[in-house]
Amino acid sequence: MTWLCDGSLEGFLCALYESFRLRRLPERLTRDRSTIDLFEEVYDIHTDDETAAKMMAHLRVQLAPDTLRRILHTTLCDDAAYERELLLYTRLALRDDKALHDLSQPVVFAIEGYEKRLMRVVHRMYGFVRFEMLEDSSLYARIAPPCNVLPLIGRHFAKRMEGERFIIHDTSRNLILVWDTVNLAVHPILEASAPILHAEEQRYRGLWKSFFESVAIEERKNYKAQRNFVPLLYREYMSEFA
Amino acid sequence: MQYFIQPFHKKSLCQNEIFSPHIFHKYYNTIMKLEEKLQILTDSAKYDVSCSSSGSTRGESYGSLGATHASGICHSFSADGRCISLLKILFTNHCIYDCAYCINRSSNDRQRAAFTPREVADLTLNFYKRNYIEGLFLSSGIVSSEDHTMELIAKSLEILRFEHGFNGYIHVKLIPGASDDLIRRVTKLADRVSSNIELPTQKSLALLAPEKSREKLFAPLELVRNDALEQSKHPIGMSTQLIIGATPESDYEILRLSSALYNKSLLKRVYYSAYIPTVSHTLLPALHTPPPLLREHRLYQADWLMRFYHFSYDEILSPQYDTLDERFDPKLAWALRNLHCFPVEINRADKETLLRVPGFGMRTVIKILRARRARSLGENDLKAMKISLKRARFFITIQGKRVKQTTLKYEYLQNQLLALEKPKAGTQPSLFDRFQSFTGEL
Ligand code: SF4
């Protein structure tokens, strides 16, 4: 049978709970209704916050912090079909956490792979986020990363810009991350109005662009390497590539 | 979402020391626009390669803007595929000296410009806030005198650190010949300082940069190291740059020098820069000679082996065999000359030995060590872990068995391995393919 969940962490936790309650595993676990064909038997998992919280509390007690972190991180890889693998992985972790060392187990390898990839995107975003200064001197950045790294990058920027207020806006997921110099939070939004830029903003953007162009060495031109390091999908909001 | 955000508490701000700048603009051209200056002074600085921003261990905090990140961050990549991490500029490209290989030498007809310390600080802060950069890399031609130049650099740093409480990364090129006091003043405020040795031997220096000598170039580095040792502090990271291909030194001589510099704990990093002719000179390669990029790449690989894989320079090369093989990376070349060390059994060999297997990088070795704790590994286990045996298979046994039929004969291996290096039909071989192993996966 195919199980259908809603793609949130809570939804996943409920699916996990169901697998224990029913003592069985789904043949397929997915969040994507469009992959289900007409005659497939489907079990729609209802997301219940209370069940999810209970499951979470259970995992917190039972699992090593690293394992739990890896599970949470995997649920942020929203461009991959991780659900069934993660379900198996979590059950394996609860049963025998020594098995998690064995990279030749396909689920272990897959889940570690997801996390690694996520962290690579996080590290890239540390560099590729571009803030614009707004009218009121606060900073605003738009991003559209391939997976949902917004919740993971806030601390980094809060640490380095402790005294500045900023918002990072994930335009493909409609989430914003807000640092108001005291608290850090992620909120879903419906839509955003166009930002009003600071009078100096264009000037610094121009200076940055001329720095970017002057720093390249003609004799070493290598667009292939450049594209490999900054894939096109990251360039949308990077002003130097505009 | 609430599971992801760990609480982050603001630490209390320390009192900023107030600094009142009184800047003497001698070379400040008021008419030139900032944008034009930035272009000129970036263009003049770009040949300097030492620009990683990683590994800062500074404990002090100057204020609330900026932090350094242990592993270094690339903010963009320029058209030549290099990482942009720092605002890399010269304070000025005026210079009273005339070093033959340098684009800024006084006899070169070139447009000149100079920043003011305040302009440097302003650019750094505004670029930093927008997350364009990790920090500043400041070098300079020598204007009026060594001390005067160093003073201007010190001013720039003081404005950033004290006036604006800037905590981001700062790397300064010390000016050889400046007074000890000034060098100390700058070193105290920087995360990393360096001084370019430029040419590997005294002889080449005398020929091409007669105002410089080995002693003069080493002096600031030694001063900084000795100060750190005296106060038994963790020494500030220092680096240097060597120009490759401008003068006739062999790879062996270059690696021997680097190794000596690492051993004296004078330096944390030596950078190699393929010489790009920017001026014509009878003693130098002609203009339009292509820079020896592959040689530079091989040197970086060899350097990496010395710093992380416990190879010594005389294992990699020797006086008889003094040039790095262009066809093979230095680890593979070493293995081919030392076939008696192979094959090694992946289930038993220790870490150091595994690291010497061609094709196994640090990450692969760690994977193997971790997995074999659970049980003895077979070939399929390695496949499941996506460990490539393309190169390594000639040098290992798995549970006592060789992978495929191979023999440890030099000629045979050389041909097999050369075939691996051959580009696939239809694809244009590019340097980038070779650069993929740049992260140290040799
Ligand atoms: S002192 Fe430095 S900037 Fe001046 S000519 Fe020599 S290498 Fe160039």
pLDDT at B278: 76
DSSP 8-class letter at B396: E
For residue B192, which amino acid is it?
R
Interface probe, candidates A49, A117, A160, A181, chain B, greatest B C-beta count within 10 A: A160
A79: CB partners within 8 A, 6+ apart: A146, A147
How does residue B56 score in pLDDT terms, banded at 50, 70 and 90?
Answer: low
Taking one residue from A and the other from B, the number of pairs with CB-CB distance under 8 angstroms is 186
- pLDDT over 50 at A2, yes or no: yes
Least reliable range by pLDDT among B4-8, B113-117, B433-437: B433-437
Q: Which of B167, B194, B221 is the last residue of a domain?
A: B194
- For position B45, what pLDDT does the model report? 85
Q: What is the mean pLDDT of residues B315-343?
A: 89
**For residue range B14-46, what is the model confidence (pLDDT) as tens digits?**
333 233 233 334 444 456 789 999 999 998 888
Q: What is the pLDDT of residues B234-282, one digit of tens each?
A: 667 788 888 888 888 899 999 999 998 888 878 888 888 888 887 778 8
Asked if B127 and A208 come within 8 Å (Cβ–Cβ), the reply is: yes
Looking at chain B, the whole-number percentage of residues with pLDDT higher than 90 is 35
Domain residue ranges in chain A: 2-120, 129-241
Answer yes or no: is B9 within a domain.
no
Contact A9 B431 (CB under 8 A): no
B169 & B212 share domain: no
Mean pLDDT (whole number) for A191-197:
85
Give the model's pLDDT for residue B210.
Answer: 83
3-class DSSP assignment, residue B349: coil
Task: State in Å: Cα B73 to ligand 1 middle.
Answer: 29
Residues B344 and B302 placed together within one structural domain of the fold = no
Residues B428 and B345 in one domain: yes
Where residue B199 falls among pLDDT bands split at 50, 70, 90? confident
pLDDT band at B221 (very low <50, low <70, confident <90, very high): confident
Q: Could you tell me if B216 and B185 lie in one domain?
A: no
Please tell me the predicted confidence (pLDDT) of residue B432: 39
Predicted confidence (pLDDT) at residue B435 exceeds the cutoff of 60: no
Does the ipTM exceed 0.95?
A: no
pLDDT at B310: 87
Q: Using CA coordinates, name the residue in chain A closest to B130.
A: A131
| Residue of A9, A151, A240 lying closest to B5 (CB–CB) | A151
pLDDT in tens, B136-180: 999 999 988 999 999 999 999 999 999 999 999 999 999 999 999
Give the distance (Å) from ligand 1 centre to CA of residue B99: 6
- Six-digit token pair at B291? 């820079």
DSSP-assigned states of every residue in chain A: -EEE--SSHHHHHHHHHHHHHTT---SEEES-GGG--TT--EEEPPP-HHHHHHHHHHHHHHS-HHHHHHHHHHTT-TTS--HHHHHHHHHHHHH-GGGGG-TTSHHHHHHHHHHHHHHHHHHHHHHH--EEEBTTS-EEEEE--SS--HHHHHHHHHHHBTTS-EEEEETTTTEEEEE-SS-EEEEE-S--PPPPBPTTHHHHHHHHHHHHHHTS-GGG--HHHHHHHS-GGGGGG-GGG-
Instruction: Check CB contact under 8 Å for B384 and A225.
Output: no
Tokens of B197: 């040795």
With respect to residue B284, please indicate whether it lies within any of the assigned structural domains: no
B154/B157 Cα distance (integer angstroms): 5
Describe the strand order of the beta sheet including B135-139 as a list of residue ranges: B86-90, B135-139, B169-173, B192-194, B237-244, B269-274
> Is the model's pLDDT at B204 over the cut of 60?
yes
Looking at A194-208, B122-136, B235-249, which range is the least confident one? B235-249
Say if residue B120 is in the same domain as residue B140.
yes
pLDDT 10s digits, B351-389: 999 999 998 989 899 989 988 887 888 888 888 888 888
Statement: the pTM of the whole predicted model exceeds 0.90: no
Q: Name the domain boundary from B172, B194, B216.
A: B194
Tell me what pLDDT residue B4 has. 54
pLDDT at B74: 92
Compute the half-sphere exposure of residue B439: CA atoms within 13 Å on the CB side of its CA: 10
Residue B13 in domain:
no
Rounded to the nearest angstrom, the distance between the alpha carbon of B105 and the centre of ligand 1 is: 6
Q: Is the CB of B104 under 6 A from ligand 1?
A: yes
Q: Assess whether B46 and B179 both reside in one domain.
A: yes
Q: Is pLDDT at B394 greater than 70 in this prediction?
A: yes
Within 13 A of A235's CA, how many CA atoms are on the CB side? 12
Q: How far is Cα B172 from Cα B185, in angstroms, rounded to an integer?
A: 12
Quote the pLDDT of residue B57: 56
pLDDT value of position B31? 63
Q: How far is the CA of B48 from the centre of ligand 1 (A)?
A: 12
Determine if ligand 1 sits within 6 Å of the CB of residue B142: yes
Asked if pLDDT for residue A72 goes beyond 50, the answer is: yes
Instruction: State the pLDDT at residue B52.
Output: 55
- Reported as a pLDDT band with limits 50, 70 and 90, residue B53 is low
Q: Do A78 and A7 form a contact (C-beta atoms < 8 A)?
A: yes
| Continuous H helices in B75-170 | 117-129, 146-158
CB–CB contact A215 B84 (8 Å):
yes
Under a CB-based contact definition with an 8 Å cutoff, are residues A188 and B96 in contact? no
Q: What is the per-residue pLDDT for B442? A: 38
Three-class HEC string of B259-303: HHHHHCCCCCEEEEEECCCCCCCCCCCCCCCCCCHHHHHHHHHHH
Same domain (yes/no): B230, B242: yes
Q: Which residue has the higher pLDDT, B375 or A172?
A: A172
Question: Which of B1, B103, B272 has the highest number of chain A CBs within 10 A, making it the mutation to test binding with A?
Answer: B1
Are residues A127 and B78, on separate chains, in Cβ contact within 8 Å? Answer: no
CATH number of the domain where residue B271 is located? 3.30.750
Verify that B225 and B77 share a domain, yes or no: no
For ligand 1, atom 3, the nearest C-alpha belongs to: B141
Closest-CA residue of chain B to A128: B75
For residue B415, the SS3 value is helix
Same domain? For B66 and B161 the reply is yes
Report the SS3 class of residue B188.
Answer: helix
Residue A139: phi and psi, rounded to 5, are -115, 145
pLDDT level of residue B7 (50, 70, 90 thresholds): very low
Residues B374 and B389 occupy one common structural domain = yes
Are residues B155 and B235 both part of a single domain? no
At residue B87, φ and ψ (nearest 5 deg) are: -75, 95
The pLDDT score that the predictor gives to residue B235 is 66
Q: Peptide bond before B343: cis, by omega within 30 degrees of 0?
A: yes
Q: What residue numbers bound the domain in which B117 lies?
A: 36-194
**What does the pLDDT look like over A105-123, one tens digit per residue?**
889 999 999 999 999 999 9
A209-218, A222-231, B68-77, range with the lowest pLDDT? B68-77
Reported as a pLDDT band with limits 50, 70 and 90, residue B11 is very low
The mean predicted confidence, pLDDT, of chain A is 90
| Structural domain total, chain B | 3
Specify whether B362 is located in the same domain as B434: yes
Q: Which atom of ligand 1 is nearest to the CA of B95?
A: 4
Interface test with B, best of A208, A218, A239 (most B CBs within 10 A): A208
Query: Average per-residue pLDDT in chain B?
Result: 81
What residues of chain B lie within 8 A of the CB of A139, using their CB?
129-130
